[in-house]
Amino acid sequence: MGITDLFQDLKIKIINPRYLPFIDKLLIWGRRNSLWLLVLGIKCCTIEDIMVPGAANYDFERFGVLPRNSPRQCDLMIISGPITQKLARPIKVLYEQMAEPRYVIATGECSICGGPWKGMYSIIDGVDQIIPVDVYIPGCPPKPEALLEGIIKLEEKILKGEIRKKFLPKTGIPKIKEDWRS
């Protein structure tokens, strides 16, 4: 009894290999056009970054970006504001609870490099020390147009398949340092 007989007995259809490139392109198209959003807003940037683009003038939904309440339903995390040491572990947990493939956009100087609080004992100098970031959007606060531009850039990266090639080490997701001051 061969493997094909087993598949026929279980009534599992084997996909013809010549259709695999089409199916792969179809999945990439679906991922690109249906980003489900998890917002992690910490300070004042959240109003400018997240709430304004959800309004009628800068509509997120025309790009397929839908806000969700649960991290298990989301595949895009937008982080704005400074990240404290106490917030590092919950951010990592939320990131790990997100659906695969996961995408992260860091907006504003505070989440990219610590902003005006850089060097303080309780502020982490960039969210990329905790989780891998796909798109950085600078500014204090960044304009809604910049956030929409960042989402378009992320969609282009998803379409080209560039996500995570240069951000992750060969062994997987980087580990969190226990002591952030070292």
- Please, what is the average pLDDT of the chain? 76
Phi first, then psi, for residue 92 (nearest 5°) are -65, -40
Q: Give CA–CA dist 25/31, Å, rounded.
A: 10
Confidence of residue 8 (pLDDT cuts 50, 70, 90): low
166 has pLDDT over 50: no
pTM for the model stands at 0.75
Say how far apart CA 61 and CA 87 lie, in whole Å: 29
Whether the CB-CB separation of 32 and 155 falls below 8 Å is answered with yes
Q: Are the C-beta atoms of 98 and 71 separated by less than 8 Å?
A: yes
Query: How far is it, in rounded angstroms, from Cα 110 to Cα 173?
Result: 22
Going along the chain from its start, the domains and CATH numbers come out as 37-160 (3.40.50.12280)
